[in-house]
Amino acid sequence: MTLLKRVLYWQAALWALSGVALFTVPGWLVERVLDQPPVGDDVWLRAMGGMAVVLSLVMVLVAHHVDEVWWWAWAFVILEASTAALFAVNALVSLPAGAAAWPWWLIAVANVLVGAIELVGLAKIGLERSPV
């Protein structure tokens, strides 16, 4: 349980930090840091930032009660896998002209790593709870 709890806290911190950044300085983050063309209306990025912060709160909630609701972590594994796939596909086939690919690959790899560590934590719990 310890590994899963730790990864959930770290995952929550990453989602919260990215969410706060998207909510407060979306244009600067996307255009300057990630070297992407302007999105247009920042309201979508701000909304996504707010959702990321709320998601991080759910991760903390699951981490606090991981002994009882460890299986909820599967939702976060699916989140990480789908996000990684989405960003990798974006980097491969749908970048706008002049957009850097490195941020999408970096985020995809980070999501794969977090999801993989979560899977290890879930596997350890499965072995601990196995009736063998």
| Measured distance CA(36)–CA(90) in Å, rounded | 12
Residue of 12, 24, 1 whose CA lies nearest to 114: 12
Q: Please provide the average confidence, as pLDDT, over all residues in the chain.
A: 93
How far apart are alpha carbons 116 and 132 in whole angstroms?
Answer: 25
Band (pLDDT 50/70/90 cuts) for residue 107 is very high
Q: Where are the domains of the chain?
A: 2-129
At 14, the amino acid letter reads L
Q: Is the pTM of this model over 0.95?
A: no
